[in-house]
Amino acid sequence: MSLGDGFLHPDRLLPADPGLRRIARDLYDGTRDLPIVSPHGHTDPAWFASDAPFTDAASLLVTPDHYLLRMLHSRGVSYDALGVPRLDGAPVASPREAWRCFARHYGLFTGTPSALWLDHAMGAVLGCPERLSETNADALFDHIGGVLAGPGLRPRALMDRFGVDVIATTDGALDSLEHHAALAGQGWGARVRPTYRPDAVTDPEAPGFAAGLDRLGALTGCDTADWAGMIEAHRHRRAAFRALGATATDHGTPSPLTADLPLAECQRLLNGARAGSLTPAEAELFRAQMLTEMAGLSAEDGMVMQLHAGSRRNTDRGMFAVRGANMGADIPHRADWVGGLNALLNRHGHAPGLRLIVFTLDESAYARELAPMAGYWPCLMLGPPWWFHDSAEGIRRYLDQVVETAGFANLAGFNDDTRALLSIPARHDVWRRGVAGFLARLVAEHRLDRTDAAHLAADLSGDAARRAYAL
Amino acid sequence: MSLGDGFLHPDRLLPADPGLRRIARDLYDGTRDLPIVSPHGHTDPAWFASDAPFTDAASLLVTPDHYLLRMLHSRGVSYDALGVPRLDGAPVASPREAWRCFARHYGLFTGTPSALWLDHAMGAVLGCPERLSETNADALFDHIGGVLAGPGLRPRALMDRFGVDVIATTDGALDSLEHHAALAGQGWGARVRPTYRPDAVTDPEAPGFAAGLDRLGALTGCDTADWAGMIEAHRHRRAAFRALGATATDHGTPSPLTADLPLAECQRLLNGARAGSLTPAEAELFRAQMLTEMAGLSAEDGMVMQLHAGSRRNTDRGMFAVRGANMGADIPHRADWVGGLNALLNRHGHAPGLRLIVFTLDESAYARELAPMAGYWPCLMLGPPWWFHDSAEGIRRYLDQVVETAGFANLAGFNDDTRALLSIPARHDVWRRGVAGFLARLVAEHRLDRTDAAHLAADLSGDAARRAYAL
Amino acid sequence: MSLGDGFLHPDRLLPADPGLRRIARDLYDGTRDLPIVSPHGHTDPAWFASDAPFTDAASLLVTPDHYLLRMLHSRGVSYDALGVPRLDGAPVASPREAWRCFARHYGLFTGTPSALWLDHAMGAVLGCPERLSETNADALFDHIGGVLAGPGLRPRALMDRFGVDVIATTDGALDSLEHHAALAGQGWGARVRPTYRPDAVTDPEAPGFAAGLDRLGALTGCDTADWAGMIEAHRHRRAAFRALGATATDHGTPSPLTADLPLAECQRLLNGARAGSLTPAEAELFRAQMLTEMAGLSAEDGMVMQLHAGSRRNTDRGMFAVRGANMGADIPHRADWVGGLNALLNRHGHAPGLRLIVFTLDESAYARELAPMAGYWPCLMLGPPWWFHDSAEGIRRYLDQVVETAGFANLAGFNDDTRALLSIPARHDVWRRGVAGFLARLVAEHRLDRTDAAHLAADLSGDAARRAYAL
């Protein structure tokens, strides 16, 4: 990760106080070039398997990034003008037009993490000499296009330039895993790993749920109309993922509710789910039970279980109808972690094989629920600040609120959770700077000695994630 | 707003770190004398229409200010002793007695925004040479009485001294608007504007709701017993407000719940509301539906819609019975913004004419719900920190939690929301200092360049509010 | 409290900025040797009555401290290995083995308040020359054993060394108070006081509730099967506590819900509670009503009422079955303070004799609910940061969020709330440093003058608690 800073200031994000900054810079210098461990994210395994070049600046940096799209949308920029595909296939702006539109509104991102990430990608990775503006939009589009055509920006070359030791993708339970199989065949299997994310067949409200269950049955030879058969089918698929390098599963639910129901009740819910006759409360109970089942399987097979709970998805029904999911209209809501995880923890919380890493969008739960829980349950670790909170202030608030109660040892390090490939080094860099700033304050306030601080800074920059994800 | 600092330190509220303070002071210096834009507040239009002098220090500064009253009450000072009128007309302390009582307990406000505002008003506006104390209470009472009798402290003169370009009052839907009409006739119509606040006829639990609906019908010639007729009546009254300069409406509800019900259900609720037979849940549904209707009217007529949600009003029933509303016993509670606004946003969230500015008392919603929502929905903007949070720390927490996700462009600038006329410059000044301190940190951490910071500081001090409120 | 700093840095926890630190150190220096007022905690009155020496480091410092146990448990250390007794009496590790195990994992506490407290106790109180580590574990165990055998570490000698003017224990309603009676007979009654904590007979879900009510009746000669008789029994017991120096009661409930029910409904609940037939909702209503009754008794007899609400107790059912309560599995959850206290406050909120001090584990309620409520209701004061929040960052967040709205005068100072005797001076010291840091910022930002700051620092270090608890 000796990427350099591009046109960014080398001391960005470090504390303003000169004494603190000196300490923080020392700590950061010890971590900036450490390899990147990326145990959770949404990059496309096809990129790495095919190693094909990216085509242009807009398709690479703008169109797929819902962090950018949402903000532009909030100020009245249409998704058509940004080149975002429509489900009806109607034409949208070309990449160059989309890029110009983006450049015209780039000022909207002042003060946001998106600007930090993009400035870093454009400067340090793509070699742009200055920040994007309306004036230089065309020139930078051409510059980036040129760079992308060269060998240094191919996906695998980027893994090397970024110093990514290992990266995990996120893959559906029904995924063929063909790209991961190809990667394994090419010796890249330990570096690019799949993650088992079965939401489509664990959430009765997911589109095509019943058909998905049928396919799950066909894929595994299990009877997915039977509760035990369905669990057995997951057992098979998890093994298939592990065979291609997976060490973890991931689960996304609107709430962290878990349940521990008798088998007859489970079967009744499954019948209703297949028939499409569950009420919303029953559908939530189904998801809740499935989380506990997944914890049971993790206790059995050792796959690290991740839970991303608390996002209300697709809150703009009109947008969803026109363009589908991941368009920026997913909004966090309150989460009850202590009540929610009660059933799962009382069932599997002491199982030696279980590790559960939780991610919240409700920061009010950090100090109130999650840090106390992680500081008690052997299986529980805290994931890093997620999504909107993966930012300079979000990292500050997270460390401020969890460390005293959970300790450092119950933190799962960092993960970038991104589908924006070029933002990976920037995101890890922001975390490392945030950690350095936080630790520097503890050192300056004589709450931590420098040796421990240096050790913790390095650990939180990579080894903590390696340990947490059994990599 | 070249008011000077009175007996206050010119660097008050700026960051302590010397480097940060230099940057912050520069930024602040560029904004301190900018005109004041006050698009939401509770000043009395009669003040400006009659331009009569205020009478005395207590009636001006203490008796009407529920921020002060509540704190005194919390330490056992009786409202009688503070000269607060009773509904039964029983005698209370004279202004001089009330002032002495206030002075005796002024130490209670140490460290609170009230002290900042009052010290500023007394020093910079009223020319008091020192902070109020028990010793100087009588002398300052006399001094202020003398100043108030002169021409420089008349309401209109204050508008000039404060540099208030435009101020909006808050007026009931049934208000005669006579003072605003008088102001318009005197050429002050663009400077002092009404705001349409129809709570008394949109909340079935408001006292005199049914009679109010009848008067609304009489005023507009509409049949307010009919749902469509009632909406039409609002359409008329909104037009009347606009004719006198209103650009905005305002709505205060215990929760941000909205609804989108079929007409027959609306009519059923209206019938029940008029008959006084709604359950509390139905009354909430009525208010929820009315918010969506008001958004529809805003989409149609372009009036900016403000929503102040989350205060539990009059929690002290005994106090309410003796002295009525606004006595300090309104307490915030949790608010579900993402679930609450769902119906309204899915119905009108993309209407080009709609702008909705939201205010919360539940700071836990800033980063979790409101910033993500404002960073997606084109119609949505975030109002500044409200009420208890309009303070040095409140402003810090607000900017810390909303900017990264909502961006600066989705903020509606500042409004003072006050009925305490003399606190207006102080409140804007605290905001400007808070903004300067926040931006200074971003500059010092190399997350923002100085030119952008200076532009943002100025914008957030006035133009942002002008744009947001279409002034 | 001239204990010295042991091996800790004398400026620990003070702000890093040099200018702030100078001010903070001055403020702190004015408070560090003030006597300790400890109006709420969980020390054992038998310690002071018998004044017997403690036996060894592990039994004194590790085994009874659930802050330490939980964190070790969270990383897989078994309670057996830490010498924690089992309900079945099966053997567990010896004190020396437990101490070695603890030392081996002491790094887990880096950055936590537990490390601050323990380092302080070991250095400044027990004279250990360096921080605990795996290497020096045996030597320090022996050193501490030697020190404990001497006269300087007896409980009463510690009260003198620590400068504890007064300390309150927490005692069940059915407690014989024999140790407090003994203390009173030895002239220690004003220094070690009981506190009336009747949870076991106010919570129908407490183990042995019905038998407890019977014993309450037998102790007082009241008919506790009758609602009024049961209240009368509490009246008797409260008087007995007051006779031995109690000035306060304490109540721990999962939520702050209160109720104000008609007598017939109360009696119906009592009948059900005695029969063990209440639903969970009815049990909550019973507790809710009892809180209001206790407030009524406090209004009558002047005992200060404390409410610790919001902990979900014993969330790990397996642990509870094996080792009982207070094993680290009590986790906070959300609390609705404004809705919860509504009934109590509307019934007794203006009673001149009532003082209610509230403690929350839901920090989101600080600025939203508790500070506004304390800044209005004459009876209400805010207790200091509780449990997980009694830490450097927790104190920072507390002061940041409550002072502006509640003022300093509605704060009840500090209490250590501990069963870890040797941590008492460290806990008060962390608070005093936190207060000094907070006030220093206000001074540096010209929001507070130095004289007021010095007065507030001293007041919050002792006198505020004395006043709040009528000591």
Among candidates B368, B404, B446 on the partner chain, residue whose Cβ is nearest the Cβ of A393: B404
Biggest alpha carbon–alpha carbon distance for chain A:
66
C14 to chain A: nearest residue by CA? A445
Write out pLDDT tens, residues A296-326.
Answer: 999 999 999 999 999 999 999 999 999 999 9
- The answer, for A312 touching chain B at a CB cutoff of 8 Å, is yes
Would you state the structure tokens that stand for residue C399, as one six-digit string? Answer: 């002061």
List CB contacts of C258: < 8 A, sequence separation 6 or more: C288, C289, C291, C292, C295, C340, C341, C342, C343, C344, C345
Do the chains contact at B11 and C446, CB–CB below 8 Å? yes
Report the SS3 class of residue C252.
strand
- The answer, for B446 touching chain C at a CB cutoff of 8 Å, is no
C7 to chain B nearest CA, in Å?
29
Question: Are the beta carbons of B340 and B310 closer than 8 angstroms?
Answer: no
C65 to chain B nearest CA, in Å?
32
First to last CA, chain B: 19
Give the full edge-to-edge strand order of the sheet including B36-38: B36-38, B164-168, B192-193
Write out pLDDT tens, residues B137-164.
Answer: 999 999 999 999 999 999 999 999 999 9
**What pLDDT shows up at residue A436?**
98
Alpha helices in A302-416, H assignment, sequence order = 317-323, 337-340, 342-348, 364-365, 371-374, 392-406
Would you state the structure tokens that stand for residue B69, as one six-digit string? Answer: 């009253």
Among candidates B312, B316, B394 on the partner chain, residue whose Cβ is nearest the Cβ of C346: B316
Read off the DSSP letter of residue B214. Answer: H
CA angle C67, C68, C71 (to 5 degrees): 90
Would you state the structure tokens that stand for residue C198, as one six-digit string? Answer: 């009747």
Among candidates B9, B16, B74 on the partner chain, residue whose Cβ is nearest the Cβ of C378: B74
Write out pLDDT tens, residues A228-254.
Answer: 999 999 999 999 999 999 999 999 999
**What pLDDT shows up at residue C1?**
45
- CA dist A143 and A128 (Å) reads 7
Instruction: Tell me the residue type at C194.
Output: P
Question: Are the beta carbons of A381 and A412 closer than 8 angstroms?
Answer: yes
Report the SS3 class of residue B421.
helix
Read off the DSSP letter of residue C16. Answer: S
C366 to chain B nearest CA, in Å?
10
Report the SS3 class of residue A360.
strand
**Burial profile C85-97: b = 16 or more Cβ within 10 angstroms, e = fewer:** eeeeeeebbebbe
- The answer, for B314 touching chain C at a CB cutoff of 8 Å, is no
Read off the DSSP letter of residue A368. Answer: I
Question: Are the beta carbons of C298 and C196 closer than 8 angstroms?
Answer: no
**What pLDDT shows up at residue B97?**
98
Would you state the structure tokens that stand for residue B74, as one six-digit string? Answer: 């919390």
Question: In the block, which residue shows the tokens 């890493």?
Answer: A357
Q: What is the mean pLDDT of chain A?
A: 97
**What pLDDT shows up at residue B193?**
98
Mean pLDDT of A167-195: 98
Do β-strands C196-197 and B304-309 pair in parallel, antiparallel, or remain unpaired? unpaired
Mean pLDDT of B394-420: 97
Do the chains contact at B74 and C339, CB–CB below 8 Å? no
Question: Rg of chain B over CA atoms, in angstroms?
Answer: 22
Among candidates A364, A378, A456 on the partner chain, residue whose Cβ is nearest the Cβ of C73: A378
Question: In the block, which residue shows the tokens 């093994």?
Answer: A239
List CB contacts of C163: < 8 A, sequence separation 6 or more: C1, C2, C33, C34, C35, C36, C425
Mean pLDDT of A392-398: 98
Question: Are the beta carbons of C301 and C469 closer than 8 angstroms?
Answer: no
Closest CA to C175 of C45, C6, C300, C315: C45
Low-confidence stretches of chain C (pLDDT beneath 50): 1
Question: Are the beta carbons of A468 and A412 closer than 8 angstroms?
Answer: yes
Contact list, C15 vs chain A (CB under 8 Å): 445
CA angle B65, B71, B76 (to 5 degrees): 120
Provide the β-strand partners of residue A197: A172
Question: Are the beta carbons of C248 and C195 closer than 8 angstroms?
Answer: yes
E strands, C78-187, are: 164-168, 171-172
Write out pLDDT tens, residues B207-255.
Answer: 999 999 999 999 999 999 999 999 999 999 999 999 999 999 999 999 9
Chain A to chain B Cβ contacts (< 8 Å): 125
**What pLDDT shows up at residue B3?**
86
List CB contacts of C255: < 8 A, sequence separation 6 or more: C284, C309, C310, C335, C336, C340
E strands, B310-350, are: 311-312, 331-332
- CA dist B348 and B337 (Å) reads 16
ipTM above 0.90, yes or no: yes
- The answer, for C133 touching chain A at a CB cutoff of 8 Å, is no
User: Which chains neighbour C (Cβ–Cβ under 8 Å, 3 or more pairs)?
Assistant: A, B
Contact list, A456 vs chain C (CB under 8 Å): 110
Write out pLDDT tens, residues A84-132.
Answer: 999 999 999 999 999 999 999 999 999 999 999 999 999 999 999 999 9
Write out pLDDT tens, residues B262-298.
Answer: 999 999 999 999 999 999 999 999 999 999 999 999 9
- The answer, for C333 touching chain A at a CB cutoff of 8 Å, is yes
Do the chains contact at C376 and B331, CB–CB below 8 Å? yes
Question: Are the beta carbons of B314 and B329 closer than 8 angstroms?
Answer: yes
Write out pLDDT tens, residues A351-392.
Answer: 999 999 999 999 999 999 999 999 999 999 999 999 999 999
E strands, A113-260, are: 164-168, 171-172, 192-193, 196-197, 248-253
Q: Is the pLDDT of residue B1 over 80?
A: no
C105 to chain A: nearest residue by CA? A409
Backbone angles phi, psi at B136, to 5 degrees: -100, 10
Do the chains contact at C338 and B388, CB–CB below 8 Å? no
**What pLDDT shows up at residue A1?**
45
Among candidates B20, B372, B378 on the partner chain, residue whose Cβ is nearest the Cβ of A331: B372
A369 to chain B nearest CA, in Å?
14
**What pLDDT shows up at residue A2?**
66
Would you state the structure tokens that stand for residue C266, as one six-digit string? Answer: 């109360």
Among candidates C9, C111, C334 on the partner chain, residue whose Cβ is nearest the Cβ of A403: C111
Residues 341-370 of B with CB under 8 A from C: 361-364
**What pLDDT shows up at residue A3?**
86
Question: Are the beta carbons of A391 and A426 closer than 8 angstroms?
Answer: no
User: Which chains neighbour A (Cβ–Cβ under 8 Å, 3 or more pairs)?
Assistant: B, C
Domains of chain B from N-terminus onward: 18-50+163-468 (3.20.20.140), 53-153 (1.10.2020.10)
Do the chains contact at B388 and C372, CB–CB below 8 Å? yes
